[in-house]
Amino acid sequence: MSIKVAIVEDSTRVRESLAALIGGSDGFRCVGTFPNAEAALAGIPKEWPDVILMDINLPKMSGIECVSKLKVLRPALQIIMVTVYIENEKIFQSMVAGASGYLIKQTPPAEILEAISDVHRGGSPMSSHIARKLVQYVAQVAQVARPAEKMELSPREHEILCLLAKGYQYKEIAESLTISVETVRTHLRNIYEKLHVRSRTEAVVKFLEQKGT
């Protein structure tokens, strides 16, 4: 059973050469070519392909949005984004929309076919350069969720941190506790040190995380 592929690409030349590549290769079958997202949304549901090669930059509706809509209709669709150059933002947007792979247009024919069967097998073909971006993103996001080590705050410090977490300013905290702003500063300085943070925002985030735990 050959893999059914559809192509969404506004450049006629690229579209036809891709179609020729796929149509002329064993194990692949081109079941549709579309010059824009609108045509794709209208035509693809008529004969669902296994894999779609989707240009990112399409006139009017972008390829990314098109992916979103198609994925809603058929989540099992495997989609490879195709573009001329690497755009970090669009990579992420594509991933979020539901695309699985990412190809540069000048990719050699053999690799394009390899990517198609790869994504069909459940992989995510992409250059290692793009993969690096993903790795960095994951590492960054996970940093936030990292468990915060809790530290022994004195009752007074805890009290002040609570007020801080309500968005109070130094002045307001001072008034509310009937102490001077300077004292608030001193406490905050100690709190920051204990929590290993450098700003009220970080302190509040840690505080709320711990509270929720």
Partner DNA sequence: CTCGGGATACTACTTTCGGGGGATAGGGAA
Partner DNA sequence: TTCCCTATCCCCCGAAAGTAGTATCCCGAG
Positions touching its own copies (CB under 8 A) are: 92, 95-96, 98-101, 118-119, 122-129, 131-132, 134-135, 137-139, 141-144, 146, 164-167, 169, 197-202, 204-205, 208, 212
Nearest residue to 29 via CA among 1, 8, 63, 70: 1
Question: Long-range contacts made by residues 136-140, C-beta under 8 angstroms, separation at least 24?
Answer: 137/92
- Positions touching DNA (CB under 7 A) are 60-61, 152, 154-157, 169-171, 177, 179-180, 182-183, 185-189, 192, 198-201
- Which of DNA, its own copies, none does residue 192 bind (CB under 5 to 8 Å by kind)? DNA
- Which of its own copies, DNA, none does residue 74 bind (CB under 5 to 8 Å by kind)? none
Give the C-alpha separation, 29 to 11, whole Å.
20
Q: Which is nearer to DNA, 39 or 177 (CB)?
A: 177
Q: Which is nearer to its own copies, 60 or 198 (CB)?
A: 198
The 8-class DSSP code of residue 36 comes to S
3-state secondary structure of 35: coil
Q: Which two structure tokens, joined as six digits, stand for 67?
A: 């992916």
Residues 83 and 55 sit within 8 Å (Cβ to Cβ) = yes
Q: Which is nearer to DNA, 129 or 189 (CB)?
A: 189
Q: Which is nearer to its own copies, 36 or 176 (CB)?
A: 176
Q: How far is the CB of 163 from DNA (least distance, A)?
A: 11
Q: How far is the CB of 166 from DNA (least distance, A)?
A: 11
> What are the DSSP calls for 147-178, one per residue?
PPPP----HHHHHHHHHHHTT--HHHHHHHHT
